[in-house]
Amino acid sequence: MFKKIDFHIHTPASSCYLDNIDTSHGPTYARDIVAAARAMGLGAIAITDHNTAEGIEAMRKAAVEVGIVVFPGMEISARGGHVLAVFDPSAPIDTLRHLVSDLRLRKHQMGQGFEEAPMTIDEVFEVIARGGGMAIAAHVDRRPRGFAVSEELRREEKQRIYSSPHLSAIEITVPFDKVNWNKGLMPGYSVGKACIQGSDAHASEEMGRRPVYMDLDQLDLAGLKMAFEHPESRIRFPSEVMATT
């Protein structure tokens, strides 16, 4: 059964969340975020604050009340780009906190998207996999932090990152390129990869603006892994869903 998911959600634990920029906006609570998710028809969301897991527990508690599944995670800044780390809904918060430690992120870097872990993006993939999570390269086709369009990386570096065995999927922002990424037809990237998209929401009103539909046997990490292994049949973007209705 296809589930509507948003894989890229921030909370006020990220310094760039709207509450922390525009004080006139007023505070956003976990219940506001899950209410917005429910209003958008989302069955699951991934919480991906910058370099921190400290917004997850409040979100999990609020999500239980409305029946939404939370994939705990974070968005990690590294040399070469950003990475979404996604863990099983049952993963304890200490697993995420250990990831912060394993990435050698310091306290002043937590919540800060411009603060990088002292390692390359593909090294981050490996640390995530070793910790039991799945690595998704974030907004790979968007400047300045998408590795595929980075002007700071050489071609061979981009291909090394893309070919990492620890990279489970890529997040794209140009939905029409999904088929070409899946089939390995993008120039310079001849291996097919599963694609997702995400809202990169920094305010509750941005929730669900770029969802993805996934045919999952179960709403957990094992289900995501199966979908990533069969992206052409199990992962659809909104335009593809509309084309079949």
**Could you read off the pLDDT of 70-115 as tens digits, one per residue?**
999 999 999 999 999 999 999 999 999 999 999 999 999 999 999 9
User: Distance from CA of residue 46 to its chain's centroid?
Assistant: 7
**Across 61-72, average pLDDT:** 96
pLDDT of residue 26: 80
- φ, ψ dihedrals at 50, nearest 5°: -70, 115
Angle subtended at Cα 71 by Cα 228 and Cα 165, rounded to the nearest 5 degrees: 35
pLDDT of residue 240: 86
Fold classified for 2-243: TIM Barrel (3.20.20)
CA gap 82, 59 in Å, rounded: 22
**Across 32-56, average pLDDT:** 97
Beta partners for residue 71, in sequence order: 46
**Across 12-20, average pLDDT:** 95
Q: What global pTM score does this model have? A: 0.96
pLDDT of residue 244: 66
Give all strands (DSSP E) within the chain, no chain letters: 2-9, 44-47, 69-78, 81-86, 134-137, 167-171, 195-196, 212-215, 235-236
For the chain, domain boundaries: 2-243
Lowest mean pLDDT among 14-28, 42-56, 226-240: 14-28
**Could you read off the pLDDT of 25-35 as tens digits, one per residue?**
789 999 999 99
Residue with more model confidence, 242 or 194: 194
CB atoms within 10 A of CB 34: 27
> What single-letter amino acid sits at 34?
V
